[in-house]
Amino acid sequence: MDSNLRLIVFDNARELGEKVNISLQKEREIQFNYIVPITASRFSNGEGKAKIEDSVRDKDLYILSDVSNYSISYNFHGMKHYMSPDEHFQDIKRVIGATSGHANRINLIMPLLYQSRQHKRKGRESLDCAIALQELERMGVKSIVTFDAHDPNVANAVPNLPFDNFYPTNIIIDRLIENEDINNSLVVSPDMGAMERARYYAEILGSDVGLFYKRRDLSKVIDGKNPIVEHVYLGSDVKDKDIIVVDDMISSGGSMIETAKVLKEKGARHIYLIVTFALFVDGIEMFEDAYEKGYFDKVYATNLAYVPENIKSKEWYFDVDCSLFIARIIDRLNKKLSLETLHNGKRKVFKRVMDKKGIK
């Protein structure tokens, strides 16, 4: 029997969780299934319950859930109903409650942080992400692991709860330079919010940084936002450059496509769109059309959030596997080792970039 480490993997993260399980076995050089089976069922009126199918007494428990997965459904009053992030989060709390306090330590791995886009309050707005984190802390969660949080400062809502926000940047860069011939590169941020991320990519790749400014019509509000009038580019000349556009997520993807279109019109050679989470909430027709028109060459995104198979099979999409990264995080947490090398692994990928460029 191996250590007290156990995994609880929701159906919304089944594929990723099974890969993490295999990676843990390889890391620890042992054939042992760390996944504890659970049942998360629903009554016909939509109410739910959770049951843990094996003992977790005195175990170091790691719960993995992808709250962004929109493919999980159940029958609600005789109709097919797809689960929302709110329902996924409620199931997380049900599983925590089902442990009945027997687990030694409950750790939650939520790659896309629940309600991370509602991380700050303006006027009479709810502060959902902070409230959710405080609720998890009250329920007994001892640490939270997430990736590329929309605003890492939301951790201030739970100052006494360990909150680790990791970035898959180095893994993505490694895959990018492995597959693409990038020499004369320029990193571009699609808006002000992604500038820090773009700066990191530029430092690793040894390139300049460009920025897009979204000019909005403040006299109108559409779908809760002031509509974008124009994407204004600020930066060095993009002509004949290999452009890397980076952001935390693709939601509808409109801003990314518009950014790529403007860059292409300015003479960019290749354009690669890089994100941690590719949600594609409005479908893929826009990306299919943009790809056919030559606005971009490829989308690089991680498997930390659900992406439909019909998108992953597209020639313009590259799926970056982060399961080994998660396994190493879990392994170190369980062994109470430092996470510093996982938080900051730039030296290794920087050397890879230099070797690719033939620089000693």
CA 248 to CA 356: how far, in whole Å?
A: 26
User: Among the listed ranges 20-29, 142-151, 210-219, 312-321, which one has the minimum average pLDDT value?
Assistant: 210-219
Question: Does the pLDDT at position 10 exceed 90?
Answer: yes
The number of CA neighbours under 13 Å toward the Cβ of 228 is 13
Asked if the structure places residue 134 within a domain, the reply is yes
Question: Does the pLDDT at position 350 exceed 60?
Answer: no
- Domain holding 62, by residue range, is 5-166
33-58 pLDDT per residue, tens: 999 999 999 988 889 999 999 999 99
- Strand pairing of 185-189 and 105-109? unpaired
Question: Does the pLDDT at position 226 exceed 60?
Answer: yes
Asked if the structure places residue 33 within a domain, the reply is yes
pLDDT at 85: 96
H/E run at residue 340: helix 340-343
Asked if the structure places residue 195 within a domain, the reply is yes
> Total structural domains in the chain?
2
Q: Are the C-beta atoms of 150 and 182 separated by less than 8 Å?
A: no
CA 311 to CA 325: how far, in whole Å?
A: 23
Question: Does the pLDDT at position 87 exceed 50?
Answer: yes
Residue type, 335: K
pLDDT at 342: 84
Alpha-carbon separation of residue 150 from 115, 153, 221 (angstroms) = 9, 9, 22
> What does the block give as tokens for 129?
């992400």
The number of CA neighbours under 13 Å toward the Cβ of 340 is 2
Question: Does the pLDDT at position 198 exceed 60?
Answer: yes
Q: Which residue has the tokens 């959030």?
A: 305
273-294 pLDDT per residue, tens: 999 999 998 878 999 999 999 9
Place 181 in a pLDDT band, splitting at 50, 70 and 90. confident
Task: Looking at the structure, tell me whether residues 11 and 139 fall in a common domain.
Answer: yes
The model's pTM:
0.90
Q: Are the C-beta atoms of 170 and 190 separated by less than 8 Å?
A: no
Task: Looking at the structure, tell me whether residues 162 and 187 fall in a common domain.
Answer: no
Task: Looking at the structure, tell me whether residues 187 and 135 fall in a common domain.
Answer: no
CA 133 to CA 273: how far, in whole Å?
A: 31
Q: Are the C-beta atoms of 49 and 94 separated by less than 8 Å?
A: yes
User: Among the listed ranges 121-130, 190-199, 218-227, 259-268, which one has the minimum average pLDDT value?
Assistant: 218-227
Task: Looking at the structure, tell me whether residues 24 and 144 fall in a common domain.
Answer: yes
Residue scoring higher pLDDT (350 or 311)? 311
pLDDT at 225: 66
CA 47 to CA 169: how far, in whole Å?
A: 39
Q: Are the C-beta atoms of 63 and 96 separated by less than 8 Å?
A: yes
Q: How many residues does the chain have?
A: 360
Question: Does the pLDDT at position 351 exceed 70?
Answer: no
pLDDT at 349: 66
Residue-averaged pLDDT of the chain? 90
Task: Looking at the structure, tell me whether residues 146 and 177 fall in a common domain.
Answer: no
Asked if the structure places residue 346 within a domain, the reply is no
Q: Which residue has the tokens 């809502």?
A: 157
Question: Does the pLDDT at position 4 exceed 60?
Answer: yes
- Averaged pLDDT for residues 181-190: 88
- Averaged pLDDT for residues 222-231: 70
Asked if the structure places residue 331 within a domain, the reply is no
Task: Looking at the structure, tell me whether residues 256 and 224 fall in a common domain.
Answer: yes
Task: Looking at the structure, tell me whether residues 41 and 121 fall in a common domain.
Answer: yes
* CATH of residue 95: 3.40.50.2020
Place 271 in a pLDDT band, splitting at 50, 70 and 90. very high
Question: Does the pLDDT at position 359 exceed 60?
Answer: no
> What does the block give as tokens for 67?
């709250």
Question: Does the pLDDT at position 1 exceed 50?
Answer: no
CA 106 to CA 57: how far, in whole Å?
A: 11
CA 40 to CA 91: how far, in whole Å?
A: 7
- Averaged pLDDT for residues 312-329: 96
pLDDT at 37: 96
Place 357 in a pLDDT band, splitting at 50, 70 and 90. low
pLDDT at 325: 96
Q: Are the C-beta atoms of 94 and 106 separated by less than 8 Å?
A: no
Number of other CB atoms surrounding residue 233 within 10 Å: 15
Task: Looking at the structure, tell me whether residues 67 and 159 fall in a common domain.
Answer: yes
Percent with pLDDT over 90 in the chain: 66
Which of 159, 171, 69 is closest to 110 using CA atoms?
69
- Strand pairing of 208-216 and 105-109? unpaired
Bridge-partner residues for 80, per DSSP?
75
